[in-house]
Structure 1
Amino acid sequence: MRRVGEIDLPDRLAPGIPAWVTQIGVGVLCACGGGVVRFFFDLVSPGTGPFALVFPALILATLFARWQAGVLTAAISIFYAWRVVLVKEGPTAASLSDPTGIHRMLVIAAASAITIFIAEAFRRAVRHAAAERDREIADRDLFLAEFDHRMKNNFAIVAGLLDMQKRRAEDPATVAALESARMRVESIAQAHRHLYRGGDRLGVVEMGDYLHQLCGALAEALFLSGKVTLVCEAEAAQVPRDRAVSIGLIVNELVTNAAKHAFVGRDSGRIEVTFRNRDGGGWTLGVSDNGVGLPPTGAALSPGSLGTRLIDAFARQAQGRLHTESGPTGTRVTLDLHA
């Protein structure tokens, strides 16, 4: 019903059609519609409730084309009921010379005026509420755009500071740690960029586009050339923001670890990132390589290492379960995610 009150035909059809023309058209149309319904009622029960259909017709006219259309509809409908319907009850029923007939018409006219007043008040209240809603949406969109712009700048500043510090560092371990931190910031920034591309749903990230862009950024940052290729196959999926960030951080850690440790002593290799929709709901993330496999200790993914602790923490945040398979032909890490 609220949506009906938002439809203002004089506004929608202007300036092509003047407002008064629209109001007359709607008033006549509603009155004629009431007359047609009255005709079918008369076939079953002639003359029953002669003024009953006046009120639905004038309410519709008022809601769609303001009180002027409601007044016109009421005038036509009351005249029709008086001159056409009541005449079947006898000549005196449709005569204003009888005090009863005068009182009857005055009551109907007063009831019609009250109904038009209430319908017009409702229409204006709905229009006012709709205008307030549109203003709030516009303000929110402006705020989100400003927030998005500031967050992008903040991420860029943090990444730039880490990169600058990395360039000044001389210790290889410090350089590697700063680069890892920069890539983690970049992973979060990528998820943030896709947060406002979630279509009609706010707070979700389109994982297909997100992972493709993230893998592209990782390939560039890790200086992967033709010798070691990074392939991403991600299906379209709408994932809540917080879980998407955690998934992106897991991909960042696993791809970085594979690029650094999986191809020691080899000239070529392949890292593959997959993201699939599961039947029945949920998703499956897979990161695999065809490298040398995981050594028992001392590697980034060995038990107790920082890389392992981070990946386990991100998996819990993503509400998923990790499975790792490793051997001489490579390593595959799978994250099962429930919807």
Structure 2
Amino acid sequence: MPNRLAELDFPDRVGSRLPLPVSQALVGIGCTAASFGTRALLDLLLPGAGPFALIFPFVLIATLVGRWQAGVLTMILSALFAWYFVLPVHGSFRLIVDGDGPRVIVNVLSGFAIVALAEIFRRAVRRAVEQREADVAERDLYLREFDHRVRNNFAQVTAMLDMQRRQMEPGPAQEALSEALGRVDSIARAHRALYRGDGTPGRVEMADYLNELCEALRTGLLERRSIELLLTVEPMRLERDRAVALGLLVNELVTNAAKHAFPGRESGKVQVELTRTKDALCLTVQDDGVGLPAEQPKPSSLGQRLIRAFAAQAGGTLESKSTSGGACFLCTLERRDDE
């Protein structure tokens, strides 16, 4: 609400095109004309009723829109109009009714009081808006600094993991470091998507995030084996924690598919889809490999624990099944507000 009131400041909005006195005069004359028109319409029904009553709303509007100068101009012109055309004798400034003189003075002073109060309110709103804008600018500065530091930290962790991985002989330890590297990279990409500053604060654009994540998986994990990774994402912005959890889940499921779905094959296809229905979000990761083993992996294994933990962190339930074309994992999440 304060922002909208501040945007009503006509001199500010046309300051680059019109001098300040001109813009204020335009507001004052416009509000006076509106007051005259309203007075004329009322006189068709109730001639002479409330000669000054209709002035005050337009004085208030003029002050809020054009500052106190416009309010004073509206008050003076409207009061003169009411005095000349509404009070007896019509078409004259002569007063013949006892009490009209004091009535004119009281109404004019009341109008000036409205101008003063409206100007105080307008300035208070303006100061509040300026303070809020300064606070937002300061917060954005801190966020950019925080973003820079966190990105550096992610880069250092990634570099150390990658260096350690390269120094090790091929084997389970190297694979474990590669998986850890992929998880850190997934979180880092979600962080970058979060702090791009081009949308709702605290939310991640999932199409950009998952596109970037899948491109990294193609380059670092699938390219050497000619495994095709396809991605379909409906436009949506999710809360940061939910987005990170889904990114980690995609990273884990695609990595598992690359490791286990295509034994003895140098090619294959993995399909990732993030869609939504009226009540739910659906993340599907499906491959055209050998399918799930008849004997399911132990729930206590690290991979299974991570997959279920990521699904739970996203607020979803995970189902897995073998199809005629391979394995399919479906994570269903309840839709929240603005998703």
Q: Same fold (TM over 0.5)?
A: yes
The match for 1:271 is 270
Q: Distance in 2 between matches of 1:130 and 1:219?
A: 47
Please say if residues 198 and 206 of structure 1, whose CA atoms lie closer than 8 Å, have aligned partners that are also in contact: no
- Give the aligned partner of residue 292 of structure 1: 290
Q: Report the more deviating stretch, 323-332 or 216-225.
A: 323-332
The alpha carbon displacement at 1:95 in A equals: 2.8
Offset of 1:292 from its aligned partner? 2.0
Instruction: Tell me the residue number matched to 2:54.
Output: 53
Counterpart pick for 1:308 among 288, 304, 308: 304
CA distance in structure 2 between the aligned counterparts of 1:4 and 1:79, rounded to whole angstroms? 29
* 3-state SS of 1:253 partner: helix
Asked if the contact 2:6/2:129 (under 8 Å) is kept, the reply is no
Deviations 1:93-133 (A, max 9, x none): x5358773332222112111111100111111111111111
The whole-number CA distance in structure 2 between the counterparts of 1:160 and 1:306 is 24
1:179 counterpart residue number: 178
The residue aligned with 2:39 is 38
SS at match of 2:58: helix
For 1:32, give the aligned amino acid: A
Give matches, 1:61-76, under 5 Å. 61-76=62-77
Q: How does 1:1-339 map to 2 (within 5 A)?
A: 2=2, 3-88=4-89, 94-95=93-94, 100-170=99-169, 172-197=171-196, 199-225=198-224, 227-278=226-277, 280-296=278-294, 301-326=297-322, 329-339=325-335
What is the letter of the counterpart of residue 33 of structure 1?
A
Cα distance change, pair 49–329 in 1 and its aligned pair in 2 (3 A) = closer
* Aligned AA (1:323): E
Q: Is the 1:231–1:271 Cα contact (8 Å) retained in structure 2?
A: yes
Deviations 1:235-289 (A, max 9, x none): 22222111111111111111111111111122322122111122x1321111111
C-alpha deviation, 1:328, in angstroms: 7.5
The RMSD of aligned alpha carbons is: 2.2
Change in 2 beyond 3 A, CA 1:252/1:238: same
SS in 1 for 2:265: coil
CA distance in 2, matches of 1:198, 1:239: 14
The percent of aligned pairs where both chains have the same amino acid is 46
Q: How many residues align?
A: 334
- Distance across 1 between alignment mates of 2:26 and 2:257: 73
TM-score, structure 2 as length reference = 0.92
* Structure 1 stretch displaced more, 224-233 or 130-139: 224-233
SS where residue 331 of structure 2 aligns?
strand
Cα separation, 1, equivalents of 2:317 and 2:220: 28
Aligned equivalents of 1:142, 1:82: Cα separation in 2: 57
Q: Deviations over 1:53-93 (max 9, x none)?
A: 121121111111111111111111111111110025798xx
Q: Contact (CA 8 Å) 2:232, 2:274: kept in 1 or not?
A: yes
CA distance in 1, matches of 2:30, 2:287: 72
Separation (CA, whole Å) in 2 of partners of 1:215 and 1:335: 18
TM-score (normalizing by structure 1): 0.92
Question: What amino acid maps onto 1:153 in structure 2?
Answer: N
Q: 1:293-313, CA deviations, whole angstroms, 9 ceiling, x for partnerless residues?
A: 33356x8x5432110011011
1:178/1:135 CA distance change after superposition, 3 Å? same
In the alignment, is the contact (CA less than 8 A) between 1:232 and 1:272 conserved in 2? yes
Unaligned runs of 5+ in 1: none
Task: Name the SS for the 1:324 alignment partner.
Answer: strand
Q: Give 5+ residue unaligned stretches, structure 2.
A: none
* Structure 1 pair 59–5 and aligned structure 2 pair: CA distance change class (3 A): farther
Partners of 1:295 and 1:303 in 2: how far apart? 14
2:124 and 2:275 mapped to 1: Cα distance?
48
Could you say what secondary structure the match of 2:83 adopts? Answer: helix
Q: Which letter does structure 2 place at the counterpart of 1:159?
A: T
